[in-house]
């Protein structure tokens, strides 16, 4: 039996506490907030999409940074294991569209409560409102923590589960990186991911609130296509958001730090250029004497019409029977490639996940132990790991927590 100290009472830290206490260790959790799992509480819009029930081998395609590092951890504690774990803790679960798994109650608080109750039952000592300032190390081995106020607490094993720096109001404000850097543990540059994007064009704020389903978004670096996907997009007062954009941000966010990128929305991806042109020809014939603005109302959401008219160059009141083929086809081209200039991502305050973090090359992927400092295990978002939405990020927390505790077990 060992004394295990866990820094951070979020998803990864709480799971690690349960796994370690179930294995018979004496566990203490230090959490700087006044309660556990503040970020967990807001996950999945308060419903907590805690894993994804996709096929095991599919899992890795949803991991954006360093999927291979996760092989061992994920196969050690799979998505199925996560579902069984929470069911065992008394949480009934359900699987929704896209294999997203939630508590049946739709309340993230059930996940938090189940972990908390299990921890208490197992005698885990939980120290709230207690910030860890430093990890104590001697001869390259971790042996304790210094808390704010200078108290020192000693243990045999340390698990760093301090989270990333996205949504800092939840407590995950980058402390984990600072603690690691103090120990000369390398941290890869941080950037916000799964985050909305800021757009330059002044017509974007006019579209605020407009949500487009079934559109495709293409992002280019000069002629090179960096991202092309189909889905749902939302205009905001500063730019674009929605599932399609959040996903894009995970792939192009770092590139945006080097400069603006061109993006195009295909508003009618199900139709080819020719099919769409034919559709307009038919619409124009059906309403020969109608004004252009009235004919395209049937084709586009009404909020988009004034912007498209301004960009399209055809006077809005022009009768459709006098519109030239050239004018019409230019308009078709605009529908197939609505232009935007992406300037940057929004900040960490709005990011679902942090990209970058503690360099995984310095971490043993089977045990999550630091290769530099023995008995220090690092888990969850503080590592340079991030995934797309769908429950994958929380699965990273559960799987790395399990691997860390297995690592401790093996050493004893």
Ligand X SMILES: Cc1cc2nc3c(=O)[nH]c(=O)nc-3n(C[C@H](O)[C@H](O)[C@H](O)COP(=O)(O)OP(=O)(O)OC[C@H]3O[C@@H](n4cnc5c(N)ncnc54)[C@H](O)[C@@H]3O)c2cc1C
Closer of 76 and 168 to ligand X (Cβ): 168
Contact 79, 395 (CB under 8 A): yes
Per-position DSSP letters for 219-287, written without gaps between them: EEETTEEEEEEEEEEEE-SSEEESHHHHHHHHHHHHHHTTS-EEEEEES-TTS-HHHHHHHHHHHHHHT
The answer to whether 239 contacts ligand X (rule: CB under 6 A) is no
Which residue is at the shortest CB distance from ligand X? 10
CA nearest 108: which of 47, 38, 36?
Answer: 47
Closer of 132 and 219 to ligand X (Cβ): 132
Contact 192, 174 (CB under 8 A): no
The answer to whether 38 contacts ligand X (rule: CB under 6 A) is yes
Placement of tokens 């000369």 in the chain:
184
Lay out the site mask for ligand X across 266-285 (x = CB under 6 A, - = otherwise): --------------------
Lay out the site mask for ligand X across 338-377 (x = CB under 6 A, - = otherwise): --------------xx------------------------
Closer of 181 and 285 to ligand X (Cβ): 181
As given in the structure block, the two tokens for residue 329 are: 């086809």
> For every residue of 81-118, which 3-state class applies, written as one string?
HHHHHHHHCCCCEEEEHHHEEEECCCCHHHHHHHHHHH
The answer to whether 43 contacts ligand X (rule: CB under 6 A) is yes
Contact 74, 395 (CB under 8 A): yes
Measured distance between the N- and C-terminal CA atoms of the chain, rounded to whole angstroms: 8
User: Which window, 6-14, 233-241, 256-264, 322-330, contacts ligand X (CB under 6 A)?
Assistant: 6-14
The answer to whether 171 contacts ligand X (rule: CB under 6 A) is yes
Q: How far is the CB of 239 from ligand X (least distance, A)?
A: 18
Q: How far is the CB of 7 from ligand X (least distance, A)?
A: 5
Size of the site for ligand X (CB under 6 A): 41
- Interface with ligand X (CB under 6 A): 7-13, 30-33, 38-40, 42-44, 48-49, 131-132, 161-163, 166-167, 170-172, 175-176, 352-353, 380-382, 391-394, 397
């Amino acid at each position: 039996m060992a004394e295990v100290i866990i820094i951070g009472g979020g998803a990864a830290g709480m799971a690690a506490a349960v796994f370690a206490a179930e294995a018979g260790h004496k566990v203490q959790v230090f959490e700087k907030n006044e309660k556990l799992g503040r970020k967990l509480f807001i996950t999945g819009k308060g419903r907590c999409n805690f894993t994804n029930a996709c096929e095991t081998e599919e899992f890795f395609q949803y991991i954006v940074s360093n999927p291979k590092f996760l092989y061992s951890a994920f196969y050690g504690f799979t998505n199925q294991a996560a579902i069984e774990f929470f069911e065992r803790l008394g949480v009934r679960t359900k699987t929704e569209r896209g294999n997203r798994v939630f508590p049946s109650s739709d309340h993230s608080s059930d996940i938090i409560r189940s972990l908390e109750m299990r921890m208490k039952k197992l005698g885990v000592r939980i120290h709230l409102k207690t910030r860890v300032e430093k990890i104590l190390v001697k001869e390259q081995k971790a042996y304790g923590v210094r808390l704010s106020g200078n108290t020192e607490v000693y243990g045999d094993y340390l698990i760093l589960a301090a989270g990333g720096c996205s949504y800092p109001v939840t407590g995950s404000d980058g402390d984990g990186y600072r603690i690691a850097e103090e120990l000369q543990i390398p941290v890869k540059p941080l950037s916000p991911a799964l985050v909305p994007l800021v757009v330059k064009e002044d017509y974007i704020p006019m579209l605020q609130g407009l949500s487009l389903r079934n559109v495709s978004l293409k992002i280019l670096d000069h002629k090179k296509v960096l991202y092309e996907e189909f889905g749902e997009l939302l205009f905001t007062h500063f730019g674009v958001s929605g599932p399609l954009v959040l996903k894009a941000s995970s792939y192009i966010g770092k590139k945006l730090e080097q400069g603006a990128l061109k993006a195009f929305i295909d508003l009618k991806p199900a139709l080819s250029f020719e099919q769409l042109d034919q559709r307009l020809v038919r619409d124009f014939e059906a309403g020969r004497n109608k004004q252009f603005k009235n004919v395209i109302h049937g084709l586009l959401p009404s909020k988009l019409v004034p912007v498209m008219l301004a960009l399209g160059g055809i006077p809005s009141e022009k009768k459709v029977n006098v519109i030239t083929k050239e004018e019409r086809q230019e308009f078709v081209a605009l529908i197939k490639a609505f232009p935007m200039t992406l300037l940057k991502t929004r900040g960490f305050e709005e990011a679902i996940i942090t990209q970058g973090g503690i360099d995984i090359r310095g971490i043993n992927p089977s045990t999550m132990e630091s290769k530099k400092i023995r008995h220090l295990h690092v888990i969850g978002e503080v590592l340079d790991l991030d995934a797309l939405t769908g429950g994958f990020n929380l699965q990273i927390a559960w799987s790395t927590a399990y691997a860390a505790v297995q690592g401790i077990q093996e050493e004893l």
